[in-house]
Structure 1
């Protein structure tokens, strides 16, 4: 009887091991959410809605919502409680259909909104008496936009405008986002469309309805056109972000949006399980109509996660910058993250390390770093937010009506940046996605924030910080420069691959420090990069405790960027695979000379082991100055960093986007093979004991 019981335990453990390695993790989703939302995405060879429905019906599935990225379709099982193995079999059968070019069963992804503090009792609620009348207005009113610039009479009559300290010189030293000067020049975001990718938007809010744009809105969670959030207490985030951008000015409601005449829309995508397909559908929504996408969310800011966009979302980004806005490229604004208390780094977030996003950090009213701020060299600039209950936060609209004075986190910073960029796009609608990044780098003001440690000066004399990027965004300076800006030359990409000498991969253990150097002289084929914009390092490292690793990149001009600081809460033993670390701190520098990548471990455990593999240096930029008045890099530079050159291979072929530009996300925790091995070991012990 004892032996039979132990054998039963063995069978149970073996079954559990198999299931654990095959089933997606659901520890953060309840079973109902997962079952109702799991789905398959197919890509047809060409868009054909009727054919998609026929294929779905053939396999006991239905198509929901509209196709995204032209020919991608959401397929759901008619009976959502199908077993996982049956769903996988169906996916395999779909892949064999001659009209299906690609198929993938979607797995849920953990995504978090980046607002930290909810002080909902500090609010001024409006009665909403104007709501019924406001709903009779024309919802999409671009035709009534005036071409002449109307100069506002300040201050605004909106009751909470006086509390918008970040617009009215209320930060220490009298600083703010300097948008009043832009307003007095007549700019308010006219004919610019912003979409908030979040948990929905209260489209009939009296302070939003006049600017609401249905063509910039969608409900991807429920696959319909109504982005209104569920009023359950959790879905205020998107509406609040929308109010920061485009709350109507001068209507005696709440406060004022920075781009108070912009078209504002919202995508409901975070009010349910999030998938790669959901993100892609949001990021690719009406890319020729929407100018700016604002996202205040990302992977968990827990100090232990490495994650980023999946293949579909990466493709949506790529399509956006290549063909969005009729070829000028969409602008993607991203909140840098709220994991500061966990010593997290935005370098572990694949959305903020994309060259296609503007990663926006936060500063408090006393011009200091908030406690939740994450450091990384991919942050390009900063806007205001708050940190403590004693400090003023951001004023905006609330759900379903009324206002709040307590919006905060980097969630509040990204929409302010989106609103400021909307002012610049009104001033110059021809700006490309790269033009916008150039303008932000060149007009950000570091002076208000210089009292916080961590600033350095890069090779072209710009102050830069891993906390604040190039400084506080300046609305008036951005608009003024936008008006005279000439389109930047095409962006080139030069790739250098570092090939390790034997042993390769290189074994490491305990506390170590290794320097790897690459000599950059230009591309073998094509036009070289002489004026840097983005710099990426694609690296693969396995180590017993990933959080003990530190990566530092030094440019020929001596600019030192900490690509990855130690993260004490990251116990992962898998490391990262071709992760795209990004730095914008070398913007404008000449890349020729010696680059140094320092890989080190700060561990106190001599038993930790790992391996370092070949790595790549990706240099994005131009062969000519971005503007005619920029300093010229003609003479061959003298490298300020002297190290021996080792293992250098120049590569002139640009790799596929999906491999080079974004890399692959790294899962956390134990690998499936390691977990299975432990299971087998436990089973053997039980068998021997039996």
Structure 2
């Protein structure tokens, strides 16, 4: 035994200290691939192809994969071939990833309870993403650029003092240290790691800057200057401020600041769009609503709310429909707060409020941006919606929207997940261009009274370039008068039944001013199809009921994406014409086309464009010469799940958008397809061993569908023949005897299978049980059960 142990130790030492030879060779062969294949076969090799040029990768299947000695004889035999110019047996080389994740050693890191598991920063760090190459700036009261935990990541090109008009953003020091806010926020994003100072930022290798703009008079110019600073260099702007959170203010960006937001998302980062992260507000104690804050209520900002260590709604948090997601901050006195850098080169573990939540989100967004620098500002919001989750966040206002996502007015779509965001970001395909469908809902003023309910059916601008079939943001622009604004509650209900509270009652708001063209925004209908009936509900929550007011304007603006195949500027796009128009309305707009033509874009076309199909369209207007006409032939938009279609329904698809697969005539998203492409191989036919399925094997192939139908017909015919044969042999079959077997755990899917002791009367009998799995799995299981029944019956005979 002692000798064996010594031998093993010697072997381990040899492996550690010496070279380990593999069973692969690099060979330089002249004469091309055919000559390389000939030489490989002659000497017992497998040719894995050329590395580049005339250098080939050979593997010998009879040589051990790892050896302490080389096969010199093999090299000699190869070198005797006249076409071989060079040969070398490959040696396993030790290489170490330079981005291996090690837990930060900073003294306060163990106290940063929110980073590792809750926000899953470790999930991003372990993949090598730490914010490197991403620039974040903090719009606040300055940044202590020489702080020992910020100095190494400080970026002067992302910094400016707007208050004093110079390039130094250093805070103004006072006895009360009231200008510590920006430095604290900066540390949350990009405090350096492994420097024995304080804690770490979420994106501890990102570059961090600061804009000093709150320590002085704040004007529209000051805000606009800050929001547009060096927008080709700065990627992310983080802001933890806004109008007064007093429960009665309605305020937002003025003309120049609005223009700065718009220029930022359209021109910033080379056209990809600046990313603005905003704290949702601290007016919870005053029953304030962040939908009355024009910064968090903007479609251009990514609004972030707060939760406490124990997943509770903080006392200061505001609830509103514009909030997109949540990170951590302070709560009750017994709950921990946020660790970060502090003024005068210090460290603090008492950072609080939604001011602390937004920078954490900015850091997580920096990690996702490092994973994919081509993400647009809208892509980032899509990532947030898709990866945030309710987790352990406690509130009574969680609801499921029309596409099955949990969403809350307190938390948005839930807690940010850094690890999930970087995974999704890596291979994310940018969403299509933003469409904006503007719809005038109100034709005349409506008295609000105690409750106003207004509904209207919309087509989301179908047939026009601004058509929207998948929502992102929704704005309800309202102008209304009311003698006691704080008693109003306003709700918007989508066609799929998602109910958003645009305005909750604000007991401290006694203003008689109402709202003047105020854009209430909701994110709760994200990815929903906007076609159908929309409902606006305005109610007076006062018990007295003496309030009064009038709704004078209601414009609904739908933001999102439309069919990617609709491009009016394309030369293939059909040009509607009135030459084939049969009926005009009183304004000389075509409302009916001649036989063989379809109504499209207020004109007539012979063929509808991709993304549309022909069908009857109901008319909702009256004419003086109206003659029993209820519908006309029109170009109808395909269902949102389809790219092209033969009808407007979800089961009329002819082709599918990216990330979806055509199954028969329906498009299923990738996460709905449970079976792998091997099923497609069974249905679609051959292909070489180890070859990936080609286009002819795709489920969407008409040939594959035809083969599947013919196969099923053949199987049914075979079964019918066997059935008749058995009847002739036995003179009758034990029809009713069947035994259900217990379900079997297979590959994580629990499937109940039925084994028959006779041929069932109907294939797929009602006693057959399927536990779990998709519809497609059930079909596959039915076929399996039928084959099992046939085999076992044959065996019993």
With normalisation by structure 1, the TM-score equals 0.67
Tell me which of 380, 397, 406 is aligned to 1:463: 406
Matched, 1:198 2:140: yes
Taking the aligned partners of 1:620 and 1:335, their CA distance within structure 2 comes to 22
Taking the aligned partners of 1:186 and 1:540, their CA distance within structure 2 comes to 50
Tell me which of 395, 410, 420 is aligned to 1:452: 395
Residues 343, 374 of structure 1: 8 Å contact kept = yes
Tell me which of 114, 119, 133 is aligned to 1:166: 114
Residues 448, 539 of structure 2: 8 Å contact kept = no
Over 3 Å counting, the alpha-carbon distance change for 1:523 and 1:614 in structure 2 is farther
Matched positions, count: 476
| Matching residue of 2:507 | 568
Residues 218, 227 of structure 1: 8 Å contact kept = yes
Taking the aligned partners of 1:230 and 1:254, their CA distance within structure 2 comes to 22
Taking the aligned partners of 1:291 and 1:149, their CA distance within structure 2 comes to 26
What are the superposed Cα offsets for residues 465-509 of structure 1, whole Å, 9 maximum, x if unpaired?
A: 1110111000000000000101111010001101234xx3x3444
Deviation for aligned residue 1:568: 0.6
Over 3 Å counting, the alpha-carbon distance change for 1:570 and 1:230 in structure 2 is same
Taking the aligned partners of 1:518 and 1:310, their CA distance within structure 2 comes to 33
Taking the aligned partners of 2:278 and 2:258, their CA distance within structure 1 comes to 15
Q: How does 1:295-444 map to 2 (within 5 A)?
A: 295-444=239-388
Deviation for aligned residue 1:388: 2.0
What are the superposed Cα offsets for residues 375-409 of structure 1, whole Å, 9 maximum, x if unpaired?
A: 11110000011112221000000002110000011
- The alignment partner of 1:290 has SS state of coil
Taking the aligned partners of 1:625 and 1:560, their CA distance within structure 2 comes to 28
Matched, 1:289 2:237: no
- The alignment partner of 2:264 has SS state of helix
| Matching residue of 1:254 | 198
Deviation for aligned residue 1:515: 2.7
Matched, 1:538 2:487: no
Residues 443, 477 of structure 1: 8 Å contact kept = yes
Q: CA RMSD in A?
A: 1.7
Taking the aligned partners of 1:485 and 1:475, their CA distance within structure 2 comes to 15
Taking the aligned partners of 1:404 and 1:231, their CA distance within structure 2 comes to 17
Q: How does 1:148-159 map to 2 (within 5 A)?
A: 150-154=99-103, 156-159=104-107
Bigger relative contact order, structure 1 or 2, given CA contacts below 8 A and separation 6+? Answer: 1
Tell me which of 442, 461, 483 is aligned to 1:499: 442
Matched, 1:184 2:184: no
Task: Name stretches of at least 5 consecutive residues in structure 1 with no aligned partner.
Answer: 1-147, 170-175, 639-690
Deviation for aligned residue 1:636: 5.0
| Matching residue of 2:426 | 483
With normalisation by structure 2, the TM-score equals 0.58
| Matching residue of 1:13 | none
- The alignment partner of 2:529 has SS state of coil
- The alignment partner of 2:331 has SS state of coil
Taking the aligned partners of 2:448 and 2:493, their CA distance within structure 1 comes to 22
Residues 590, 637 of structure 1: 8 Å contact kept = no
Residues 625, 631 of structure 1: 8 Å contact kept = no
Tell me which of 245, 255, 275 is aligned to 2:189: 245
Tell me which of 536, 539, 542 is aligned to 1:603: 542
Taking the aligned partners of 1:374 and 1:308, their CA distance within structure 2 comes to 16
Taking the aligned partners of 1:632 and 1:408, their CA distance within structure 2 comes to 47
**Which of these two proteins has the greater Rg computed from alpha carbons?**
2
What are the superposed Cα offsets for residues 33-61 of structure 1, whole Å, 9 maximum, x if unpaired?
A: xxxxxxxxxxxxxxxxxxxxxxxxxxxxx
Matched, 1:525 2:469: no
Q: How does 1:77-96 map to 2 (within 5 A)?
A: none
Deviation for aligned residue 1:149: 6.0
Taking the aligned partners of 1:211 and 1:467, their CA distance within structure 2 comes to 34
Task: Name stretches of at least 5 consecutive residues in structure 2 with no aligned partner.
Answer: 1-96, 566-639, 651-797
What are the superposed Cα offsets for residues 628-678 of structure 1, whole Å, 9 maximum, x if unpaired?
A: xx955977579xxxxxxxxxxxxxxxxxxxxxxxxxxxxxxxxxxxxxxxx
Taking the aligned partners of 1:151 and 1:546, their CA distance within structure 2 comes to 57
